[in-house]
Chain A
Amino acid sequence: MGRRNMQRNRLQKSKPTRRESAKKSSRELRRGASDGRARLLDKLKSYFQNHGQLLLRTFQRLAAEPAQTLMTSLVVAIALGLPAALYVGVVNLQQLGSRVETTAQLTVFLKKEATEVAVDQLRESLLSESDITAVDYISRQQALAEFQILSGFGDVLAMLDENPLPPVLIVQPADQFHGDLVASEALVARLKELALVDDVRLDMKWIQRLRGMLEVWERLAFSLGVALALGVLLIIGNTIRLAIESRRDEIVVVKLVGGTNAYVRRPFLYTGIWYGALGGLLAWLLVAVGLQWVDGPVERLAVLYQSIFQLQGLGFSGLLALIFIGAVLGLIGAWLAVARHLGSIEPK
């Protein structure tokens, strides 16, 4: 180890910096380059310069073969885009769920024969309870009028002799009931006991079901994501393997003139990162285009449900996340390929 470090140091010392080289060039000719001493800052600069150049050069190489690059990136994009799209779906349904949840309320259907006075009394007594914040009364006439407007069945209703709708109290439970099914159901049971009450509907039940379903979908998206991430590793690994094969001669020569394994490895790793990052970018575009496509129908559907639901996309942070995940997967995939295939290429 010690000897290796010594050799490294000697090597780094022999790297003249850009600034020094001009002044030194004449001296160096006489003395050789071995005593040009690079300072730490210069070494760091040179290191980042090298990596920056490599980043640029590997991209240029990919850009020189646009068809091949696009194909590989597109496969990566599809593999990343599928779980991303599922994730977007889950997020939107969650948003829908939480929106309804905040308005979670009990619909209390009263007996049709209940008098206005009795209903008023019931309303007063309910309002005085601590776990109820608001009680709205919808009379039979109001309910009928509303139904006629919204349902489009106005004509049918006109044919009926009698108003079929019961009077309704909309009960808004206190905040602590939100999301708490057990407490809510206890409240429902208590309200059902009342003499005037015919039935009580808890609007939260379907939210609970939605939530359960979302959990399933969330896990599905995650496991699909893991499976497809493995796919991305294999795709990029295989592409890098082919790149290594096609540059076998170059690798042999580089090793002969003293290129380290790290030096040989590096361009392939950067290529993998590029494939992954481009795939992440394309995946984001795919999801964005897909969302744009369903945005219109969703909006119309929301109008039908009297909701102002707005589709949520991946956003800028989603873009960054996809590019980052793609780049990391690309790096790992390339690393696996390089570890497997580079060692076998030695000068003979």
Chain B
Amino acid sequence: MIQFDKVSKRYSTGQEALSGLSLELAAGEMTFLTGHSGAGKSTLLKLIMLMERPTHGQLLVNGKNLNRLHSSQIPYYRRNVGVVFQNHQLLFDRSAFDNVALPLLVSGYQPREVGRRVRAALDKVGLLDKEKQNPIALSGGEQQRLGIARAVVHKPRILLADEPTGNLDPQLSAEIMDLFRQFCELGVTVLIATHDVDLISRMGLRLLQLEQGRLIHDGAPEYAA
């Protein structure tokens, strides 16, 4: 589904965020990505989101070479990717419902269909009774779940999450991980960047570890450096 082939990314500041990275994520696979801050986790996610372009190397998503994707096609590409941000990126000028509806509205769905799908997504994350509330009135865990609902409402084939459990207590973290696992079981490719070592070892899933832009571990978490 996602294939990095000797991908390097050097920012205009001269900082090399990724160097010669090669890895492959299969469709429907759930994977963790870890490493110290500055190791290149965010850059890796940004490359998949096409918020940044590789300096060298190829990045293939669903068989398509992203280097050849014209910038005018980026919006259409992004509709196949859902992203959960650490800082949620929610809009506080509208209700929870309208926040989740955004990915559907930009794709031109009919209002009735939007309502149906948004409620399904809110139900999935357990926020159906909060659809009319402003996200600012929600707790941290609820905001995170709202962000997840928005990331999956349009049924993307890829789900990326950047520190989704950053500020949450272990129980909430476990709940959110459980959500991700459910999406994975539906065939979504899930990639989660996190520091949470406990969580990773508990889940026992494939772990990618980055250090200074290089992949230093790929496999079961117990052998990670």
A contacts, CB < 8 Å to B: 3-4, 7-8, 11-12, 14-18, 21-22, 25, 32-33, 46, 50, 249-250, 252-261, 263, 346-348
Contact = CB atoms under 8 A, between A and B. Distances in A.
Contact of A258 (B79, B91, B113, B116): B79
Centre residue among B78, B91, B102, B110 by max chain A CB count within 10 A: B110
Given A7-B76, A253-B91, A258 B110 contact: no
Contact of B112 (A18, A33, A259): A18
Contacts of A255: 75, 78
Contacts of B75: 255, 258-261, 263
Contact of B106 (A46, A258, A346, A348): A258
B78 A18 contact: no
A249 to B, nearest CB: 6
A18 B72 contact: no
Nearest to A43: B108
B43 to A, nearest CB: 12
B103 A257 contact: yes
Contacts of A252: 89
B207 interface: no
B83 A18 contact: no
Contacts of B110: 15-18, 21, 46
Nearest to B150: A257
Interface of chain A: mostly helix, strand, loop or mixed: helix
Interface residues of B, number: 28
B103 A250 contact: no
Contacts of B78: 255-258
Centre residue among B77, B108, B109, B111 by max chain A CB count within 10 A: B108
Contacts of A253: 89, 91, 102
Contacts of B83: 256
7 contacts: A11-B107, A21-B113, A249-B89, A254-B106, A257-B102, A258-B107, A258-B154
A28 B97 CA distance: 22
Contacts of A33: 155
Contacts of B225: none
Contact of A3 (B73, B106, B111, B113): B73
Given A11-B76, A11-B79, A249-B91, A18 B108 contact: no
B51 interface: yes
Contact of B108 (A15, A21, A22, A348): A15
Contacts of A18: 110-113
B106 A257 contact: yes
Interface string B149-165: 01000110000000000
Interface string B49-91: 1010000000000000000001011011111000100000101
B113 A16 contact: yes
Given A22-B112, A255-B75, 10 more contacts: A8-B76, A11-B108, A12-B108, A16-B113, A18-B113, A250-B91, A256-B89, A258-B79, A263-B75, A263-B106
Interface string B91-124: 1010000000011001111111100100000000
Nearest to B94: A250
B135 to A, nearest CB: 12
Contacts of B76: 4, 7-8, 11, 258, 260
A259 B73 contact: no
B150 A4 contact: no
A181 to B, nearest CB: 63
Nearest to B99: A253
A266 to B, nearest CB: 11
Contacts of A257: 78-79, 102-103, 106, 150, 154
A144 B102 CA distance: 87
Nearest to A7: B76
B57 to A, nearest CB: 21
B115 to A, nearest CB: 10
Nearest to B76: A7
Interface string B33-49: 00000000000000001
